A and B are shown apart, each in its own frame.
Chain A
Amino acid sequence: MNSTQALSRNTILDSVRANQPAAQPMLTIPHFHTNKPADLVATFRESIARMAGVVVTEDVPDLDSFLRAKFPDAKVICSAIPEYAGTIKPASFQHWSDASTIDVCMLRSPMGVAETGSILLSDNELQVNTIAFLAHDLVVLLDPKQIVANIHDAYEHPYFKLRHYSVLMTGPSGSGDIGGVVVHPAQAAKTLTVILSRAPDAGQRKG
């Protein structure tokens, strides 16, 4: 830190110390589980649908057939999951901007949130963070057992204290900036499809 920066830092902190009101105590924050939904999966589906995300609950025994049927024009399929090869892996992208060539990106999320319909992704799953934003379409596997009730539970996930990047993603990109009507897509993914599928370490590999 140079001398100007040190001066700025000290000036700000001195001013804050001089002006901050008398210290008030921190509260205990409840998780509000008394209002927990009875069926987390059903609530998750309803929540993500409101944000234009799609949930596939039926069994998908063959991911390749599923993707080919759903995205027949897709040429570049980036897979960040071990159980599906795709046409390219995240590690292949030398520059993170190169991920703009992806048509479909295949991922697995370690957590869903019933209250909001969000899925958690981090640099652990993505490896190259831009694959989830520069790809046109996202397909994400989620173990229904890993759906938590609400945002309080979600922020208990260790990623928020460990990973350099993590995102609660809720539907494809959208914008309500013109006319107050939300349209999809905006700048990032055009679609988000979540396939409910048990995690491989739960004893059942898919695809």
Chain B
Amino acid sequence: MSSPVDQAKNAEKFLTDTVHEPRLDKLLWAMRMRRDAAARQVPEWEELRTLASEIKEHTLSNLSDYLIQFEARATANGVIVHWARDAHEHNQIVYDLLAEQGIDLLVKSKSMLTEECEMRPFLERRGIRVTETDLGERIQQMDNQPPGHIVGPAIHKTNKDVAVLFSQKYGSDPNNEDTAYLAGVMRENTRPDFLKARAGMTGANFAVAETGAIVVATNEGNADLSANTPPLHICSVGIEKIIPTTESLAVFIRLLARSATGDTITQYTSTFRGPRKGAAMHVILVDNGRSARLGMKRFWHSLKCIRCAACMNTCPVYRRSGGLSYGSTYMGPIGIVMMPTFEIRKYSELPFASTLNGSCSNVCPVKIDIHEQIYGWREVMEENDQIQVVKKEAMRVADKVLSHPALYQIATATLSTALEVVPHFAIYNRLNAWGKRRDVPDAARETFHEWYRNHRLDTNEGGRL
């Protein structure tokens, strides 16, 4: 059994990095601001969010029928549909498809599902070279790191990091940190693999039951190159990616890029409905715990996720911790609610990597109640005795104070005085995670209750707070 990922400890290391930590925070906040600006340009934005949420809920609540419909339509289009119960089955299907044709090079575009299945090491151990063709994913592959962000896998790296990495792997100029130059190095070095590979792989943003089509959104064109250039296209699809119709696809396409980066759409939004003449297209429908999550009354809504990463960009914990601190395939707020369904003990600490401020839920394009699910997972961890003693004690005290108004008022009223007189070690210790790397602010001279009593409350009416 794996020991729990200590996100807080990993984050602490990232927080000491005076270059990467503030840079990531700034970059992601800028992305969040661009998302807000894009949303404001669409008068029906909130209506689209509601529609997207309800279409997903409709689909998930009729998922067995839609999966069967997708399979039938895709098969009629000439696609070969496979079913994988878990990561191993998925990886074995991909390997068998490659091995039976003696293929030893696979070009692939970004797919979080293949990360989840740990497909790349599975294939590499069996002699198949895998070239990630998404720039960010390729950078992470070269650096032997998993993605740090589901949209921009290497977003935590500086230009200098990439220049040095590329110089070591590709022999490019280590001192040229120009972004366009670095993207050019990637283009030059990836293209030969596109041209010689006999198999290409993509994930899927959506799978349309009505038409049996899969839809992939990218900016680099690497998914279209991976799928179109070699004669074999393999596509991995989580079963929750099904949507009913092309008409409903429009709702999600309007939300996806705007939520992710603030763009109106990605450069390429591609629909693959069947193989070209003389080529083959395989779709692997993957469960890997999804059908079990569908039965979790409190958590099945997380299956609505369209992987835009808006919740990560807005999360103060994620922005200051970096995606790698979560030690998981999916990170940030949505990762916190998804990962425990894969392995509860390993990810038992993740639900505490949140301030529960609700910003993640507010920006979610499919209205997942992310922060409420995070709180729900905290309760599950306590019920299952997965919480460290320190956290458990803090929660027990908080629960007692918050459930007794009189105790709460005494606690807040005495805080100001207490902070002035108690010694430093009593405030800054391992029980006060907030006080690490931050000064505890001075307490207000009066509590809100005191201020309200002095300024607003009409005592003659006998009102009370």
Measured CB to CB, the residues of A under 8 A from B are 5, 8-9, 11-13, 15-27, 29, 32, 35, 47, 50-51, 96-97, 100, 115-118, 123, 129-130, 132-134, 150-152, 154-156, 160-161, 163-189
Is A187 within 8 A of B187, CB to CB? yes
Are A21 and B267 also in contact (CB < 8 A) when A129-B224, A164-B272, A176-B261 are? no
Are A35 and B44 also in contact (CB < 8 A) when A12-B285, A164-B276 are? yes
Kindly list the 7 A-B residue pairs having the minimum CB-CB distance in the complex, ordered from nearest. A188-B221, A19-B295, A177-B136, A186-B220, A15-B291, A164-B274, A173-B221
Partner of B264, one of A116, A154, A180: A116
- A15→B44 CA distance, assembly (Å): 37
Partner of A187, one of B78, B179, B225, B248: B225
Is A12 within 8 A of B291, CB to CB? yes
Measured CB to CB, the residues of B under 8 A from A are 27, 30-31, 42-44, 47, 51, 54-55, 57-58, 60-64, 67-68, 77-78, 82-85, 89, 133-136, 139, 152-155, 157-159, 162, 179-180, 182-183, 186-187, 190-191, 194-196, 210-211, 213, 219-222, 224-225, 228-231, 239, 244, 246-251, 253-254, 261, 263-276, 285, 287, 291-292, 294-295, 297, 300
Is A187 within 8 A of B222, CB to CB? yes
Partner of B220, one of A51, A134, A164, A188: A188
How far apart are B328's CB and chain A's nearest CB, in angstroms?
Answer: 21
- A123→B455 CA distance, assembly (Å): 72
With A27-B51, A186-B186, A186-B221 already in contact, 4 other A-B pairs whose C-beta atoms are closer than 8 Å: A9-B83, A12-B287, A25-B58, A173-B267
Give the residue name and chain of the A residue nearest to B269 (CB). A168
Is A161 within 8 A of B272, CB to CB? no
Residues of A within 8 A of B194 (CB): 97, 134, 187
Partner of A151, one of B78, B85, B134, B254: B254
- A50→B155 CA distance, assembly (Å): 22
Is A177 within 8 A of B228, CB to CB? no
Residues of B within 8 A of A19 (CB): 291-292, 294-295, 300
How far apart are A119's CB and chain B's nearest CB, in angstroms?
Answer: 11
Is A151 within 8 A of B250, CB to CB? yes
Residues of A within 8 A of B244 (CB): 26
How far apart are B299's CB and chain A's nearest CB, in angstroms?
Answer: 12
How far apart are A158's CB and chain B's nearest CB, in angstroms?
Answer: 10
Partner of A50, one of B159, B182, B264: B264
Give the residue name and chain of the A residue nearest to B77 (CB). A164
Are A21 and B60 also in contact (CB < 8 A) when A29-B51, A179-B27 are? yes
User: Most A CB atoms within 10 A — which of B51, B155, B250, B263?
Assistant: B250
Residues of B within 8 A of A22 (CB): 61
- A29→B31 CA distance, assembly (Å): 29
How far apart are B135's CB and chain A's nearest CB, in angstroms?
Answer: 4
Residues of A within 8 A of B134 (CB): 177
Is B57 within 8 A of A24, CB to CB? yes
Is A161 within 8 A of B221, CB to CB? no
Is A133 within 8 A of B228, CB to CB? yes
Partner of A27, one of B30, B55, B269: B55
- A155→B51 CA distance, assembly (Å): 16
Residues of A within 8 A of B264 (CB): 47, 50-51, 115-117, 170
Are A188 and B139 also in contact (CB < 8 A) when A20-B60, A165-B270 are? no
Is A175 within 8 A of B220, CB to CB? yes
Give the residue name and chain of the B residue nearest to A52 (CB). B267
